[in-house]
Amino acid sequence: MQNTDNILNDIVLEVSNIAISYGNKKVVDNISFCLKKGEISCLIGESGVGKTTVLRSIAGFEPITSGNIKLNGNIISSPSKIVAPEMRKVAMVFQDYALLPHLNVEENISFGIRKMDTRKKQQRVQEMIELVKLNRLNRYYPHQLSGGQQQRIAIARALAPAPKLLLLDEPFSNLDPNLREEISIDIYDILTKSQTTTLLVTHSQKEAFALADNIGVMVDNFFQWDSAYKIYHEPETHKIGAFVGGGAFLPGRVNANNCVDLELGLNYQLTNNFPKDMLVDVLIRPNNIQHDPESLYKGVIKSSIFRGPSFLYTLLLVSGREVKCLLPSHLYYNIGDSIHISLKRMPLKAFPNIK
Amino acid sequence: MKKKLVYNVALTLGLSMLFAQIQAEELVIYSSRNEQLIKPIFDAYTDETGVEIKLLTDNDGAIIQKLRTEGSRTSADILMTVDAGNLWHATELGLLQPVESDVLNDRIPSHLRDPQNNWYGLSVRARTIIYNTNEINPEDLSTYEDLTGEKWKGRFCLRTSKKVYNQSLVAAMIAHQGEEKTEEIVRGWVNNLATDVFSSDTTLIKSIAANECQVGLANTYYLARLLAEDSDFPVSVFWANQNDRGTHVNISGAGVSRYSENIDAAVQLLEWLADAKAQKMYANVNYEYPANPDIDPHEILASWGEFKQDQLNVSKMGELQVDAVKLMDRANYK
Amino acid sequence: MLNNYLLTVLNNYLSKAKVLSISLLIILPLSSIFSGIFDFQADNLSHLISYILPDVILNTLILLIGVALGTLTIGVSLAYLTANYNFPGRDIFVWSLILPLAIPAYVFAFVFVYLFDFSGPIYSIIRNTFGSSDFLPKIRSTYGVIFTLSLAFYPYVYLLSKNAFSTQGSQTIEMAQTFGYSRMQIFWIVSIPMARPWILAGLMLVLMETLADFGAVYIFSYDTFTTAIYKSWISLFDFSSAVQLAAIMILFVFFIISTEHFLRKNKKYNMKNQSKHIIINLNGYKKWLASLACLCTLLIAFIVPLLQLSIWAFENILKNPGIDPRYLSFFLNSLAIGIFTTAIIIFLSLNLSSSRRLDKSLFTQTFVQISNLGYSIPGSVLAIGFFITIVMIENSLIYTLSLIGIEIDIVIRGSLLAMVLALSARFLVVAFHPINSAMERISKSQEEIGRSFGLTPRKIIWLVQIPIIKSSIISASLITFIEVIKEIPIVLIIRPFDWDTLSIRIFEMTSESMWEEASIPSLLIIIMSIIPLVFLVKKASKGK
């Protein structure tokens, strides 16, 4: 029944409308999303918004108060029924890695595959060690290794039993920034190579955009689950738009053609429909703005971040509002310089004005 | 500020104790007899004579080691212990000195003091047969040796051989009848035991009352303590070996320390202790028999009637203690 | 640059000198008793070897294994329960389960033998009701001793392993759950191995105390190695043989400690651990079972002995109305040596543990171990050692002064300082183990941060290490304090005239087997132990 019914046979995880409460306080509400086999997805959001709680509910550590969670089509959590964490075959990598200090690398990695026969186990451990590039460190104890190496042991341990689903809780937060980028690329390789369905919690958008096929954003009690592209270009709420990707908003009034006049130009088309004369905030992404010596409009450089191939400038407009703008790095300005800019002619995302 | 104060107080306390002084006019007594058993008597002595008494109690073994370690610099004038064996051992180690006192020689019978007058017994502790009055007809009892008989199998109780009282008893038996005979008797006892050996006379006596066993060996003052609380307690005393050598006795006693500088005062205290008033207090406080035969014992003790004491000099028991211990080990008396 | 180098070398030597001087506290008394080791009587020794030692060695091993299993079972399981689960009464059990520590082992033994012997009240009632009590087990048996000592000593294991369990964080448990391990499996293969240094530290204290115990085993007439030591000394008048046996025992302890140390050489337990500790609510019958387990332990190991002591104390007061007014000074004296000694011991433990961390040389490691041997030696034997040392120091001081023409009698024995130092040497290990275990969890980087801010190793102790291991210091102080106020032989032999403590009162009362009379000082010692316990527990729970 289930199999014939389930045309989306390759859906591994299905979270439908779940809510989680601590006492009377709802920490998480109305969250739904699906993970397909082999997909890497991310939950992002401000800290304290309940991302880790969602992850823990999938692992079975938090009971849910409404909705349900299905793994391979079987309900594993609902308000009335909860499959114990140890029965789920969901692997989780914890923020602190939770390595066992009294076991060496090999023993830590084989921790999750105790039921395999000895030869297979050895083989699997060796595979994992090679996968995470910890060769020749088999006999070392965790305390003798660096943070990045410890991280990779934790991943190897989680992957060893070939879990249906891998959960990663802020996996890179204990690493220093330089290491962070390097390791996250490594881990991405490992995960894609091993075809592991993965859900990752992070507070770094950069990581999310770098790793994830789909992203779930949790901002201010609202949840949007979409491809990275859509999250960036078509956020569903004002706040998600503000949270993701460093956007800015410019106010305007909708005219008859569903267009809007803005401080940086007139008659811009909107992507979504609004009633005439409505006041809206229009989302301006850094890439919407270009350097344009011909333009009438100007902005004063308030701050700049060098990103190698490009600069991210924050510009102060005449009205006192700020927008961000990404310029090739040969266009170098000092703070206080005034530059000519224009807003690219392309449909823009807008939200009802909040005030 | 506060920390500094605490620090200073600690330092002062430490230093002031560092040079604790001992005044010459006092008598210093090292004792392994309990403080509460002798303190009232010494208080009485101080009231009577004005001589201050400093008392230091410790275990038998430790107090002798202490005296030995201090050597000539000891402040002890008198060593007081609860067993002749310990006094004998202290004498062997040269920690005591002989005393010339006709008063003491007169008041304390010769078998209760050291032949060289290094120490004197002050109270007598009789170790004899005790029995359950509901279960045993005292006419069936006679001697320590008789307890090896078949009729006592599974009815007899002993305290551990580690207690010096049993070591002294066996030592006395060795003195009287030789090692071979004694070992046979001890084996006979062990063979008759109703239960594992007890660690205290009191528990042993209570077990006899509870009928776990019916006959045992104990120092009489333990029974007297129990009788003082409950006069219906169903255990009584049988005086062993009245038809031959007499019942085994040990002493608590004292001697003058080898390096005492107050010999006269120390001897005076001992003489006073051997006298009527002190003897009564000294013995009665623990239901022991006065060493001085002129003094009547406590009424509970008197109710058991008079008995014939073994006249073997108690120092002999110290001399033979090591042999006795080894003999009991060989006989598997735990 | 050269200056810095010299400074490092100098610091290294100073640290070694510090460890050496602390260890002298125990080396001097040990060597003074061992100096007479060859002065033995051959016939005594051969007697001991053929009649005593085979039995007592077997007995001692049985007792050690039994008490180890007993205290581990009770201590670790209760610690795991109270550290990880919530159930009715947990808040009270958490700290009250430590209380049996306040009852000296020999008092335990006496109360239990009184209560559960053939002639005791319980068996008598049963005999009167059922006509026989022969079907009941005998308390005066191997099982009885193991049972009693396990109840008396389990708090060491409980206290230390609870410390470990409640700081492990829940992530490792959850991690293991995701791999399909049941809670029971996790307990055995995750929680226990991770708590190993703490559990073993507690167990080591239990074993050392069991080995050195004389009072309790005497009451049970259970002959151990310590019994043989006392037998040689007191009954055979042969202190040298006694010392020889003691030496064998110390070597045994040293061997065990070193083996343990060697076995966990490679493993560290200082994993980063920021995850919070989650306490799970137990439901249904499970929560009542948990309460019942705690309650039963507390009942047998504390409330029953406490009640019995109270009954005796009450009877005593009825018999002799009015309490000896000297009890106030006994109480204050106990309090004073308790506080001073605990302070010194904590100070020494911190220094030793810190030196051991910074200096891995064989020299330092060995002398740290030696410093901790005091606890494993029977109290009276060690007391003599201290006394001999003190008198030797006096004699040499007098001699030295007489050389420069000063004739003066110096009496150090009987000083509070000497007593406190001797007690410190004896009980150092009681605080050292928990502090050292906690110290092992401080990561190197935490110290290096301190170093990078220019703190000296000494300041690091105060500013980095102590704050991190505060809770371990508190529990270490507590056990030390309780141990010190219970101690008898050292106080007996070194104390000044007319200076008694509560424990000395217990000695006076019990040396003629008048156990019931000892109930009042025993109760006062228990009360004195409870006060700081309650205070510290309140403070700790507020801190959370």
Structure-derived torsion over alpha carbons of residues A97, A98, A101, A106, reported in degrees to the nearest 10: -70
**Cβ pair B36:C489 closer than 8 A:** no
DSSP string covering C261-324, please? HHHTTT--------SPPPPEEP-HHHHHHHHHHHHHHHIIIIIHHHHHHHHHHHHHHHHS-S--
**Cβ pair A111:C274 closer than 8 A:** no
Residue in chain C lying closest to B31 (CA): C508
Could you tell me the pLDDT band of residue C312, with boundaries at 50, 70 and 90?
A: very high
Instruction: Indicate the DSSP class of residue B288.
Output: P
| Residue A153 reports pLDDT greater than 60 | yes
For C391, the closest of B62, B70, B195 (CB atoms) is B70
CA–CA separation, A147 and A180 (whole Å): 10
Q: What is the pLDDT of residues C328-361, one digit of tens each?
A: 899 999 999 999 999 999 999 998 988 888 777 8
For C171, the closest of A86, A88, A98 (CB atoms) is A98
B201 vs C: CB within 8 A? yes
Q: Choosing among C497, C499, C502, which should be mutated to test the B contact, i.e. which has the most B CBs within 10 A?
A: C497
Cβ neighbors of A22 (< 8 A, separation 6 or more) are none
Residue in chain A lying closest to C442 (CA): A143
- Point out the least confidently predicted range of A243-247, B48-52, B136-140, C362-366: A243-247
**Cβ pair A101:C268 closer than 8 A:** yes
| Residue A7 reports pLDDT greater than 50 | no
Could you tell me the pLDDT band of residue A258, with boundaries at 50, 70 and 90?
A: confident
Q: What is the pLDDT of residues B172-229, one digit of tens each?
A: 999 999 999 999 999 999 999 999 999 899 999 999 999 999 999 999 999 999 999 8
CA–CA separation, A138 and A104 (whole Å): 7
**Cβ pair A96:C176 closer than 8 A:** no
DSSP lists the bridge partners of residue A69 as A15, A77
Q: What's the helix, strand, coil split of chain C in %, to 5?
A: 80, 0, 20
**Cβ pair B164:C410 closer than 8 A:** no
The confidence score (pLDDT) of residue B240 equals 96
CA–CA separation, C188 and B72 (whole Å): 61
Grouping H, G, I as helix, E, B as strand and the rest as coil, residue A336 is: coil
**Cβ pair B59:C141 closer than 8 A:** no
DSSP lists the bridge partners of residue A313 as A304, A325
The confidence score (pLDDT) of residue C500 equals 87
Chain B 43-62, residues with CB within 8 Å of chain C CB atoms = 54-62
| Residue B12 reports pLDDT greater than 50 | no
Tracing tokens 């035991």 back to the chain, one arrives at B193
Query: Is the ipTM here above 0.90?
Result: no
The confidence score (pLDDT) of residue B4 equals 47
**Best CA proximity match to C26, nearest among C336, C432, C335:** C432
Residue in chain C lying closest to B68 (CA): C388
Residue in chain B lying closest to C53 (CA): B329
The confidence score (pLDDT) of residue C230 equals 87
| Residue B7 reports pLDDT greater than 60 | no
Query: Is there an interface between C and A (3+ Cβ pairs < 8 A)?
Result: yes
Of C538 and A207, the one with more pLDDT: A207
Could you tell me the pLDDT band of residue C88, with boundaries at 50, 70 and 90?
A: very high
Residues of C in contact with A116 (CB under 8 A): none
Residues of A in contact with C266 (CB under 8 A): 141
**Cβ pair C231:B162 closer than 8 A:** yes
The confidence score (pLDDT) of residue C266 equals 55
Q: What is the pLDDT of residues C442-454, one digit of tens each?
A: 766 666 776 666 6
Grouping H, G, I as helix, E, B as strand and the rest as coil, residue B245 is: coil
Could you tell me the pLDDT band of residue C275, with boundaries at 50, 70 and 90?
A: low
**Cβ pair B18:C496 closer than 8 A:** no
Decide if C46 contacts C54 (C-beta within 8 A).
Answer: no
Mean residue pLDDT of chain C comes to: 85
Could you tell me the pLDDT band of residue A142, with boundaries at 50, 70 and 90?
A: confident
The confidence score (pLDDT) of residue B53 equals 93
The H or E element containing residue B124 is strand B119-132
Q: What is the pLDDT of residues C379-413, one digit of tens each?
A: 888 888 888 888 888 888 888 888 888 777 777 78
Q: What is the pLDDT of residues B87-119, one digit of tens each?
A: 999 999 999 999 999 999 999 999 999 999 999
Considering only CB atoms, which residues of chain C are within 8 Å of chain A? Answer: 169, 171-172, 174-182, 190, 193-194, 196, 266-275
Q: What is the pLDDT of residues A43-55, one digit of tens each?
A: 998 877 888 899 9
Cβ neighbors of C128 (< 8 A, separation 6 or more) are none
Could you tell me the pLDDT band of residue C311, with boundaries at 50, 70 and 90?
A: very high
Query: Is there an interface between B and A (3+ Cβ pairs < 8 A)?
Result: no
Grouping H, G, I as helix, E, B as strand and the rest as coil, residue C86 is: strand
**Best CA proximity match to B77, nearest among B117, B26, B143:** B26
Phi then psi for residue B289, to 5 deg, are -90, 135
**Cβ pair B162:C235 closer than 8 A:** yes
CA–CA separation, B252 and B124 (whole Å): 7
Other Cβ atoms less than 10 A from the Cβ of C67: the count is: 27
| E strand map for chain A | 11-22, 25-36, 40-45, 66-71, 74-77, 90-93, 165-169, 198-201, 214-219, 222-227, 248-253, 259-262, 265-269, 279-284, 289-291, 298-306, 310-316, 322-328, 338-343, 350-352
Tracing tokens 């073997």 back to the chain, one arrives at B312
The confidence score (pLDDT) of residue C267 equals 60
Tracing tokens 């610091």 back to the chain, one arrives at C11
* CB pairs A-C closer than 8 Å: 76
Tracing tokens 């000593």 back to the chain, one arrives at C153
Other Cβ atoms less than 10 A from the Cβ of A332: the count is: 11
Decide if B73 contacts C410 (C-beta within 8 A).
Answer: no
Å between C285 CA and nearest CA of chain A: 19
CA–CA separation, C525 and C502 (whole Å): 7
The confidence score (pLDDT) of residue C256 equals 84
Å between A276 CA and nearest CA of chain C: 53
CA–CA separation, B314 and B310 (whole Å): 9
